[in-house]
Amino acid sequence: AICTSTFCAFYHLVAFALLQVGGNMSLRCLGFCGVDESVDVELLKLLGARYPRAEFGVLFREGKEGTPRYPSDEWVRDLATTAAAASPPVRLAAHLCGRRLSDLLDRGDVSWVRQHIVPLGFRRIQVNATRVNGVELPDKAAAAKNLLAAIQELQEVEWIVQANDETKELWEPLATVATPPFNAALLFDASCGCGKLSSRYPAPPANGIRCGYAGGLGPTTVVDAIRALRTGVARGRVIWLDMESGVRSMADGRDIFDIAKAAAVCKALEAESWEDRSPIMELVPPPPLPSNVQVSGHPLLAHKLTLMRDQSTPVREFRSLLREVTFHVGYEATSGLRTAQRSDVVSPSGPVPADKACRVAEMIALVPIMRAGLGMVEAMLELLPNAVVHHLGMFRARTGRPIEYYSRLPRNSTCDLAFVLEPLIATAATVSAAVSKLKGWGAGKIVVLSVLVSRAGLCELQKLHPEVTVHAVQVDDELKDDRCLLPGLGDAGDRQFGTPAGNPLSKSVLGPAFTEVCGVARGPEDADGRTAKRARVTPTMTPSPSLGPQDEPVTKVLGDLALYSGLDDIPPPSPVESSATQLTTHDGAFGPAPARMNWGAPTPELRGPVLATSRHRNQRNAIGAHSGGYSIYRALAVMSNSLDEAYTPKFGRTTPVARIGPFPKWADRKAIVTIDPYGHAISEGFAPWLERGYDVRPTIAVTKAHIELPECKDALRLGRLTADGAVLSPDGQSFVTKAAIEPVWYLPGVAERFGVPEQRLREAIFEETNSMYPELLTRHDIKLFLPPIGGMTVYIWGDPEKIPDESVELTVRVHDECNGSDVFGSDICTCRPYLTHAIEECIRTAQRGGTGIVVYFRKEGRALGEVTKYLVYNMRKRQEGGDRASEYFNCTKEVAGVTDTRFQVLMPDVLHWLGVTKIHRFISMSDMKYDAIVSTGIKIVERVEIPPEMVPSDAQVEITAKVFAGYHGGKAYEGAKDKSALDTVKGREYSAATTYGKSVTEGGGALGTAQGPGVCKRPAGPPGAVAASGRS
């Protein structure tokens, strides 16, 4: 005997092999490119409704709008509205040509596509990178990289690359890579878009990338082409066909899109069959249904399901049919209910014997999976009026993983029998997750009620939950590419509730989201709900509008970079709906319309501001809140009425005290992914947004200060430093420029740094923050995240404007916070001594005419936190043999499970923000920091270790372990590279004593130095003047 799930897998393998032999080929869609104003959009809607696989392609080429094959912006909007309102929605594809495509391939700029094409409902985008389409590519290798980046960045659309000899450098990498992007496809067109019929068709690549064919197709040629493909290279594949010239005609001297020719092509293909099922497939019987599945064979139910499948069935009738079908399926599913006898029943004719009177003896719960399952509740309540109803809100994410957004299962009450109501089961991922949740809740028995199910989904459900019974009306054998049933009945939720399938221009769906569609600015709506038309602003460089005296920036650092070409594309802030609190939001749903964010754009205007305040909930383009963890204190201030949540700060006089930037790396979306490079200049770079009423907040503040450290005074007294009255005063004060920086993460860039998909990064943060940020999973249209972690502070000695000049000496230390040492002088580590040593080096560099930088990161305890750090201290001191260099890293791993989570790969961003390209003296021994910096292209000339005399006795363990592990030690720490040093260097020991009188006397016994045996141990007492001052 073979189990059903195994047989299913075997069946699909055999079927696939037979498909390769039997010539099976299917058409996923049929593309008609070049639709324009010569055809009424209502006719396209009718043709799309009659042939749902028909797809209409719109050519976008700047300067040709309104000419044949290139429709006007207004017509495109009309088409998008009509297509989205159709049932099913009409398929649309965008064919990019000319400058729009050149910008994408030359610079990797997808902002126009993201802002103007995707919102209109185009789900496929074709790249026509040929000369006849107005595209010249001087650097095709760079264009290929930018195209791949665009494919990876905009994963919500399918990218089609026109494949021919002229575009070989673009499409060949996609055809040869082992695993192509799931949203990439190739259209083979040897004529380069000129409409010449191909004499032969290339075979689809072996890596499985989706393919289509074009070139000279039309009513008279399409049948021969489809037959040649089915018996030739496309045998066993799912492809599409595309045509343009073949469906055009001349009428009254005008070049028109001929809807009659398009209809003729559809009729011809329908006669040939969209689905070509090989007769040999009949030799392979479908796998048997799992034993726990009960499929109704009732002819009336089959009749009603047929009506439900029909796309012309109106919403009201669909709901009624679903209710009827549910009632009858539920009637069969309840045939095994447990009952108990009743002896208290009296009929009009007398008492009813107990063996003829009964009642349902089980506690029953109905659990609809929202929203589609809601339509099954009423019918089941008619059958089981005493059943309780518990709702589960779930949906399937792009990755196929179910996402739960609502659950109110009572904690202390369960049921004997739970009926899960789900009209359609495709992959079974969602229903399986619901069953698992009900099992964990404690449901005694679970029965799934459905209308239409897939064979693969049933096999999967049986494999995971073999004890669960499923009742359904029919089984579909196939799933489409998007994991939906084929032929199916559409989206059961949309069919029940009449919701528009993503109508992008419906006032009820997106409201004021579109600030500009296809280059036409949209303004306030007229009284009748339509948008008032306004003339497009001619791009002339004008300065930002003047603001009030409290908003006008006192200093400016961006120069011409802050100039705007026009202001009409900045939408007005949308009002906040406060009648309900949203648990989360979803991309594509009503309400959210995030402000433009094109990370890495060359100007503030093109990029857009970071919006993360609660005032702009619909237009936020960042997940999280400003100030990270301190946002909780803001909440307390609002809650206690100490702060008016509507208050808007005045930033005019808060502008930077020094000019930092702009630098080329600010426009490199790969170089800076963890901070906003314009974060210190928002009142300059985003003045128009502020004037419109947006609450844009700085994420960087640049100020100046005089720093007074005991170590500097000691260095003056001992002669290590000399006062010059400019950098260092005679009383030990040094003059610095300093910048406080809050993190702003560009999620695609952060994921790329770690070499993982963006989705994996989002899921990890979501899960490890205990679901604090659900929008990481529900809002893929938002790419920014303000993590609740500490930021950093940059201290600069000398002129900040000299930093980019590689001929000027630059000293740098990147320092990770250690509060116990840095502030209170704890001698268990070298943090404060190394920090003060770096400050001295920065002062001396500035006095020589150079610049010194110390970047102070808030990464306490190797970013594991101070609590974890102190736990590690206790383990180190209490382990057998005391605190030893050989166990230094092991103790951290024993406590935290990892030795370090600072991930220096994110650290160099701040150096690129400062304009650093060359570091002459790097004050650090860390190999991780050094490797992270040089890997980004920054040159380091010299690495400077901490002087041995500055290392405290108890810190010898740390320095020995680090040098042995690979830290740069120079000649001073050669001894630490010997393994014997790990066993000889020892720190203090702690006992189990907790009484103060005992514990205060512990802590002696530090032995050995990182320089190795034979080196004289430093005298007892403070480790030189530096460390002594640090503890005072």
Q: Among 129-138, 446-455, 574-583, 734-743, where is mean pLDDT lowest?
A: 574-583
pLDDT of residue 1018 exceeding 60: no
Percentage of the chain modeled with pLDDT above 70: 85
Q: In the chain, how long is the greatest CA-to-CA distance?
A: 117
Residue 9, C-beta contacts closer than 8 angstroms, at least 6 positions apart: none
**Predicted confidence band of residue 1003 (pLDDT cuts 50, 70, 90):** low
Average pLDDT over residues 214-223: 90
Which of the listed ranges 20-24, 643-647, 728-732, 961-965 does the model predict with the highest average pLDDT?
728-732
- Angle between the N-to-C axes of helices 41-50 and 259-272, in degrees from 0 to 180, rounded to the nearest 10: 0
Task: Give the end-to-end CA distance of the chain in Å, rounded to a whole number.
Answer: 81
Buried b (16+ CB within 10 A) or exposed e, 572-600: ebbeeeeeeeeeebbeeebbbbbbbbbbb
- In the prediction, which pLDDT does 32 show? 95
Instruction: Give the pLDDT confidence score for residue 838 in this predicted structure.
Output: 94
Cα separation, 742 vs 869, in Å, equals 24
Burial 447-467 (b: 16+ CB within 10 A, else e): bbbbbbbbbbbbbbbbbbbee
* Contact between residue 243 and residue 56 where contact means Cβ atoms under 8 Å apart: no
pLDDT for the residue numbered 241: 93
CA–CA gap between residue 276 and residue 25 (Å, rounded): 5
- Token pair recorded at residue 251: 């009428």
Across the chain, mean pLDDT equals 83
Taken in order 878, 881, 884, 888, is the CA torsion positive or negative?
Answer: negative
Task: Give the model's pLDDT for residue 552.
Answer: 78
Q: Which of 88-97, 525-534, 878-887, 946-955 has the lowest mean pLDDT?
A: 525-534
Residue 540: what pLDDT?
A: 36
Q: Identify the residue with better confidence: 1006 or 286.
A: 286
The DSSP H or E segment spanning 299 is helix 299-309
Tokens of 703: 């100020």
Q: 510 vs 917, which has greater pLDDT?
A: 917
State how far the Cα of 780 lies from the Cα of 587, in Å rounded to an integer: 7
In angstroms, the CA 646 to CA 638 distance is: 10
Q: What is the pLDDT of residue 760?
A: 93
Contact (Cβ atoms closer than 8 angstroms) between residue 387 and residue 366: yes
Look at residue 195 and tell me whether its pLDDT is greater than 80. no
Rg for the chain, CA atoms, rounded: 35
Long-range (24+ apart) CB contacts under 8 A made by 2-5 are 4/287, 4/288, 4/289, 4/290, 4/291, 4/459, 4/462, 5/290, 5/459, 5/460, 5/462, 5/463
Residues 6+ away with beta carbon under 8 Å from 199: none
Q: How confident is the model at residue 1027 (pLDDT cuts 50, 70, 90)?
A: very low
**Which tokens go with 860?**
């306490």
- Taking residue 82's Cβ as centre, other Cβ atoms within 10 Å add up to 19
Please tell me the predicted confidence (pLDDT) of residue 287: 67
Distances (CA, A) of 110 to 625, 768, 784, 838: 26, 31, 16, 43
Tell whether the model's pLDDT for residue 748 goes beyond 60: yes
What is the per-residue pLDDT across 468-504, written as a single tens digit (0 to 9) for each? 999 999 998 877 666 777 788 888 888 888 876 533 3
> Where does the pLDDT of residue 546 fall: very low under 50, low under 70, confident under 90, or very high at 90 and above?
very low
CA–CA distance from 459 to each of 24, 293, 453 (Å)?
24, 10, 11
pLDDT at 1 over 80: no
The residues that are catalytic are: 900, 902
* Residue 544 pLDDT: 37
For residue 995, the 8-state DSSP code is: S
* Mean pLDDT across 111-127: 90
pLDDT confidence tier of residue 47, bands split at 50, 70 and 90: very high
Judged against a pLDDT cut of 60, whether residue 1020 lies above it is answered with: no
pLDDT for the residue 860: 85
The CA distance from 454 to 424, in Å, is 8
DSSP 957-979: HHHHHHHHHT---TGGGGGGGSH
Q: What distance in Å separates the CA atoms of residue 426 and residue 843, rounded to the nearest whole number?
A: 68
More reliable by pLDDT, 425 or 396 = 425
pLDDT of 922 above 50: yes
Confidence at residue 285, expressed as pLDDT on a 0 to 100 scale? 58
Residue 986 burial class via C-beta count within 10 angstroms: exposed 0-12, middle 13-18, buried 19 and up: buried
| Span 785-800, average pLDDT | 94
Lowest-pLDDT range, 244-248, 531-535, 742-746?
Answer: 531-535
Structure tokens at 534: 């306004």
Residue-wise pLDDT for 59-85, tens only, equals 999 999 999 999 999 999 999 999 988
Instruction: Pinpoint the alpha helices (H) of 23-71.
Output: 41-50
Average pLDDT over residues 9-27: 52
Q: pTM of the predicted model, to two decimals? A: 0.65
User: What is the β-pairing status of strands 733-741 and 745-746?
Assistant: unpaired
Return the higher-pLDDT residue of 541 and 84.
Answer: 84
